[in-house]
Chains A and B, each alone.
Chain A
């Protein structure tokens, strides 16, 4: 035992340099194994938080019931019961398996809104000029949430005392109702049985309030604040001044709980009570999001667990599932892309571990051989190596985990990944040592018969070929399976092993093919090299003919494939985002005009004249979304109409499309011609065809309509259409099918003149130009801002971060792999170099030997890696859900020369670094010593 420890310890001390490098490498790989899955999970969790935050109140769980007098015919609750239920409801929601991680954990504090039915009110003693105004009011109860959300401007808050029917209202409501502090609002009481005269109840306005600025979260408008969400007229009274029935205003007044009770006692209609349970985005993780989605779907307020002793009927609704419907798909896409990179990085890492441990084992081959010759068993050799490699792995793992804890505080460790890395790190040297030990003095008896020996060689070759073919078939099968099943087949609860392994298999397959094809290429090239003057050509040819080392080739091919694939994926998603931005915005800037401030021709002309604007056009969209327009064949009575979106475009619109066609997704040039011809065709002709409106239709509509004589129902009129062409490019932000008509022509045949509601502006000065219109920020969408938003999305940014980190990691690993493979043959090269020096080779040309040995491998890895990387994007792209991250339809794979050239430049740099290491390694070689003793490295 002591002997074994001495042997192992002394040997490790002799190989200290390599052992330290192994420790550091294992540390780095442990860091990667800890950090990359954490980064994936972190990205998904960020994405879930962002999605929940974006869903906002739409996702809230809203519980509704009715509040009224207890003796009513239908069971109703008292305000106190509702408030009590609100307080208890969160605690009754489903919990996670261990008491956390369920719906209950995801919910914030509830807000309660109690609001009476709408009733007509009068204002005795008010200004006679307002006598024609019909005032409808709803009385809301002033709960603690609402009390916190308002500030008193004038007067006092309603007294919470018996007999007082005091109310407060907003300044806007007071203005709409022309009331002030001291005014009285009379609302009708329920008609008591046996009486015919309706009575009224007077509500006294005692105060005017405004929203409390400090109660509103940053960026939240008052109407969206939870406490006011269910009484929308509180701050924005409804105004129906255009109604033919005369002027009317709808307002909300707030009273105290006792005031609410008093009011309930004299009205028959029960009030609506709403308990709003908001989700807290900050507590969300991807796992919690999935669980909450399930819990919300299964929510049953009829059960005793939730309702408890609450007897009034409860209703529940939540838009959580709808609001987050896109998230699982986006998460799948993000997982798919990130796991691809993680598996690739870990694959390269494992290969580099194998390479480095091979270096160590090669250095110890003589020792192992001597041990075997002296009678050491395989078990004893294996055990000694195992103990050493376990120690090395544990120290390396400790360094990696410590580094992870320092760089990423508070992270949860993926123990499985770390354990896998450490296991590989611990077992690889053992297995390689055992292979060497078993091979040394293997003393296998070969047959005396030459044909029997050839038979054995043939069987070995056939086995190898069968193994390689199986590998290729496996790789092809995996890629085919992943591609054919698509992203829907991948998992959302973790990494899909088949998808993650696909790049590894692809790179392995490419490396195998390279190993087989390489000798053929070398055979073609080396005769020329041998004929060159001087020794370099001959030496280079001899080195090149030695064949490719499979492990370094695999590591480098995989590294290049990941760098290329990762870069191309990022480029493809970015290109898809730009493409989608044109689709989603329609131009560099899009202005949506409000009803109160319509766009005019002058506005369009002014914007077009602004510097940096290349085109500006307007249109009015009336569409399929509100069933405002439909098309049907003129002759087939009774056939169901096709709802369409009619884009009434001005004559400048074609200029916008003309500019757009130079952009990705902007559409073909034929659209511009057709649009210009549409404007020209719209000029009334004396030929008698002026009664038909020339239009362009999109291809989708062309496919659905087989008649050329069409009638369009538009604005209550039937218009005869004349289709003059079709368009390919349609706005992605509107639903089709689309019909393009000239704005002026369509306006001329409409009862009400059409006013443009959308302005599209192209050019670098678009943002400044639309600013000059003086419209609000909400009415303007800038394409660059849309792209920025898309790229800032947690999932997109996380995937991008993962790609960058992965490419950085594989680059570092590729350098280590190449240096390790160069060092592995450094000893033999030192002997060759020394011998060649005795024959007259200049010492400074020594690097040529290493270059001639390494460059073919780097070249082959570059070629194979680029092919595998492009293949990864082209073959796996459709299964990676790139469209969900691009923000539109799945983008076509982009094979960017910049990415490929960058990777080539990186490979050249790595080669240069390796040559520097080689030269440095042989700097101190002493010619005579190397020749006498052997290598010095």
Chain B
């Protein structure tokens, strides 16, 4: 199992829980080749909650499947904790899914067995991991209580609302003490209020159980509520928005969000489309190294014509 030598530069992502370095995932369907990830870099630290956003087809779900151990990158380096995601055997993968990660899908019905009660659903992953019955029972009750589902432990998914189902799904995902929880559009099928409940549940998992949470979402309401939002474009990490809470002299707190472009390991940088359009940046651009920044200039017409 795991990684003795991941091949990742030890200095890159030191202390991070999740390290993706130039990850590539290519699909081949008949004669068509699809490059879902084209050299993606990502670092997630323990106890952090991040959101991954991006347009449809940008590679968000592919990345999540890779990190969940449900898919394997074609090339690059990917690590979660001590596990090298490119070198795991089938048995390693089973242990990884069981003990290291937890995940929930967008479709509420897909996360739970409809014929098992909420408590039975939560206990199931523990039984797969061989947890003793008493411990299973205790842990199940604890998780459902933390997520506010203790009173509905014996109800089946069909008797729960969508938000409740997602909260139970979070409990299921957390059953075996994972280091990180992945959620793929967890509020995609829910109304705003219910989505808030689910987000609260994820926050609760993060704060009470100290589990890192990675959420793939289209929902701005979700991405605005996490510490860091990573935007993916064309299979690469394009930008990051980092938020912190600022309390002013009057004691009024405000969330300050600052967007950063991401410079990858090869020195590549994606400029936001708006910037490019307003400055007419196209094709070749001129870079000027100043004392404290790098300037990017459009190519002058005569220069471009030369």
Contacts and interface: CB of A to CB of B under 8 A. Distances in A.
A427 B123 CA distance: 28
Contacts of A457: 28
A687 interface: no
A16 to B, nearest CB: 11
Contacts of B69: 441, 443
B242 interface: no
Nearest to B91: A377
Interface string A1-44: 01110110011011000000000000000000000000000000
Interface in B80-109: 86, 93-95, 97-99, 103, 109
B71 A374 contact: no
Interface stretch (A245-253, A445-453, A774-782): A445-453
19 contacts: A3-B124, A3-B127, A3-B136, A7-B113, A7-B116, A7-B124, A10-B116, A374-B98, A375-B98, A375-B99, A375-B129, A375-B176, A376-B128, A377-B94, A441-B97, A443-B69, A443-B72, A445-B86, A446-B74
B114 interface: yes
B292 interface: no
Nearest to B98: A375
A377 B115 contact: no
A462 B109 CA distance: 41
A373 interface: yes
B74 A375 contact: no
Contacts of B73: 445
B125 interface: yes
Interface residues of A, number: 31
Contacts of B28: 446, 450, 453, 457
Contacts of A14: 114-115
B93 to A, nearest CB: 6
Contact of A13 (B33, B110, B115, B136): B115
B202 interface: no
Contacts of B98: 374-375
Given A3-B120, A445-B72, A446-B74, A377 B113 contact: no
B172 interface: yes
A444 interface: yes
A446 B72 CA distance: 8
Nearest to B74: A448
Contacts of B128: 371, 374-377, 380
Nearest to B27: A446
A373 B113 CA distance: 12
A372 B28 CA distance: 24
Interface string A344-376: 000000000000000000000011001111111
A385 B14 CA distance: 45
Decide if the interface of chain A is mainly helix, strand, loop or mixed: helix
Contact of A3 (B86, B93, B111, B123): B123
A443 B93 contact: yes
A373 B115 contact: no
Nearest to A456: B28
Contacts of A13: 115
A453 B35 CA distance: 14
A10 B124 CA distance: 13
Contact of B26 (A366, A371, A444, A446): A446
Interface string B118-160: 0010011101110001001000000000000000000000000
Given A448-B75, A453-B28, A4 B127 contact: yes
A370 B70 contact: no
A374 B86 contact: no
B24 interface: yes
Contacts of B93: 441, 443
A366 B103 CA distance: 16
B92 to A, nearest CB: 11
Contacts of A445: 72-74, 86
Interface string A51-79: 00000000000000000000000000000
Given A375-B125, A443-B69, A448-B24, A6 B120 contact: yes
A11 B72 contact: no
Contacts of A444: 72
Contacts of A366: 110
A375 B116 contact: no
Most buried by B among A11, A14, A375: A375
A108 to B, nearest CB: 67
A192 to B, nearest CB: 109
A697 B214 CA distance: 102
Contacts of A933: 109
Interface of A: 2-4, 6-7, 10-11, 13-14, 366-367, 370-377, 380, 441, 443-448, 450, 453, 457, 933
Given A370-B110, A377-B128, 18 more contacts: A3-B123, A3-B127, A4-B127, A7-B120, A10-B113, A10-B115, A10-B116, A373-B103, A375-B94, A375-B129, A377-B94, A441-B70, A441-B71, A443-B72, A445-B86, A448-B24, A448-B26, A448-B75
Nearest to A10: B115
Interface residues of B, number: 38
B96 to A, nearest CB: 9
A2 B124 CA distance: 10
Interface string B275-296: 0000000000000000000000
Nearest to A457: B28
Contacts of A446: 26, 28, 74
A457 B93 CA distance: 25
Nearest to B114: A14
Interface in B59-82: 68-75
B37 to A, nearest CB: 11
A933 B108 CA distance: 11
Given A7-B124, A375-B128, A443-B93, A2 B133 contact: yes
B169 to A, nearest CB: 10
Nearest to A441: B70
B116 A6 contact: yes
A367 B113 contact: yes
A375 B115 contact: no
A374 B120 contact: no
A745 B69 CA distance: 104
A692 B215 CA distance: 116
B26 to A, nearest CB: 6
Contacts of B72: 443-445
Contact of A373 (B33, B97, B127): B97
A374 B172 contact: yes
A411 B147 CA distance: 63
Contacts of A376: 128
Given A375-B94, A377-B94, A448-B75, A11 B125 contact: no
A457 B28 CA distance: 10
Contacts of B94: 375, 377
Contacts of B95: 375
Contacts of A453: 28
Contacts of A3: 120, 123-124, 127, 136
A447 B74 contact: yes
A457 B33 CA distance: 14
A155 B17 CA distance: 124
Contacts of B74: 445-448
A830 B68 CA distance: 32
B127 A11 contact: no
A463 to B, nearest CB: 18
A728 B84 CA distance: 88
A446 B86 CA distance: 11
Contact of A450 (B24, B33, B86, B110): B33
Contacts of B111: 370
A135 B72 CA distance: 112
Contacts of A6: 116, 120
A524 B98 CA distance: 51
A1 to B, nearest CB: 8
Contacts of B86: 445
A457 B72 CA distance: 19
A447 B71 CA distance: 14
Contacts of B68: 373
